[in-house]
Amino acid sequence: MIVSKPAVAGTLESNDCYVTVLPNHSSGIQLVIRSIVMQKYGHLIEKTIREVLEEYQIEHVSLTLEDKGALDFTIKARVKTALERSV
Amino acid sequence: MNGRSYLFIPGNSAGMMVSSFVLDADVLIYDLEDAVSLDQKDSARHLVNEAVRFLPKRSQCWVRVNPLDSPYFMKDVDALIDSPIDAFLLPKCDDVRFKDMYAYIEAAAKRKNVHIKPCVALIESATGVFTLPKLIKLNVSGLFLGAEDLSADMHMTRTKGSDEIMLARQQVVLHARVKGIVCIDTPFVDVEDMDGLQYDAIKAKQFGFDGKACIHPKQVSQINQLFGYSDEQLQWAQGVLDMAKKHADVAVFNYQGSMVDRPILLRAQHMVDLARKWGLIHE
CATH of the domain at A66: 3.30.230.10
Other beta carbons within 10 Å of B31: 24
Give B 14-33 residues with CB within 8 A of chain A: 14-15, 17-18
In angstroms, the separation between the Cα of residue B8 and the nearest Cα of chain A is 19
* pLDDT single digits (tens) B71-107: 999 999 999 999 999 999 999 999 999 999 999 999 9
* pLDDT single digits (tens) B263-276: 999 999 989 988 88
pLDDT (mean) for A29-35: 96
Which pLDDT score is estimated for B64? 98
Closest residue in A to B50 (Cα–Cα): A73
Confidence of residue B247 (pLDDT cuts 50, 70, 90): confident
Confidence of residue B59 (pLDDT cuts 50, 70, 90): confident
Nearest to B42 among A14, A16, A84 (CB): A84
In angstroms, the separation between the Cα of residue B275 and the nearest Cα of chain A is 33
Q: Do the beta carbons of residue A68 and residue B14 sit within 8 Å?
A: no
B39 Cβ contact partners less than 8 Å away, ≥ 6 residues apart: none
Nearest to A74 among B42, B47, B53 (CB): B47
Closest residue in A to B40 (Cα–Cα): A9
* pLDDT single digits (tens) A37-87: 999 999 999 999 999 999 999 999 999 999 999 999 999 999 999 999 999
Other beta carbons within 10 Å of B97: 21
How is residue A3 annotated by DSSP? -
Which pLDDT score is estimated for B20? 84
As for how many domains chain A has, the answer is: 1
B127 domain residue, yes or no: yes
CA-to-CA distance for B53 and B255, rounded, in angstroms? 47
Closest residue in B to A9 (Cα–Cα): B43
Q: Write out the residue range of the structural domain in which residue A42 sits.
A: 7-85
A1 domain residue, yes or no: no
* pLDDT single digits (tens) B167-216: 999 999 999 999 999 999 999 999 999 999 999 999 999 999 999 999 99
Q: Write out the residue range of the structural domain in which residue B264 sits.
A: 231-277
A29 domain residue, yes or no: yes
Residues B210 and B243 in one domain: no
ipTM for the predicted complex: 0.96
Which pLDDT score is estimated for B281? 79
Which pLDDT score is estimated for B283? 64
CA-to-CA distance for B40 and B34, rounded, in angstroms? 11
Which pLDDT score is estimated for B21? 75
Residues B136 and B9 in one domain: yes
Q: Is B43 close to A72, i.e. CB distance below 8 A? A: no
Confidence of residue B239 (pLDDT cuts 50, 70, 90): very high
Buried b (16+ CB within 10 A) or exposed e, A21-32: beebeeeeeeee
As for how many domains chain B has, the answer is: 2
Nearest to B15 among A15, A77, A80 (CB): A15
- Helix (H) / strand (E) element for A30: namely strand A29-34
Nearest to B42 among A16, A72, A81 (CB): A81
A26 domain residue, yes or no: yes
* pLDDT single digits (tens) B8-52: 999 999 999 998 878 889 999 999 999 999 999 999 999 999 999
- Residues of chain A with Cβ-Cβ distance to B55 below 8 Å are 73
Mutate to test the interface with B, among A73, A78, A80, A83 (most CBs of B within 10 A): A73
Q: How much is the mean pLDDT over chain B?
A: 94
- Residues of chain B with Cβ-Cβ distance to A70 below 8 Å are 14
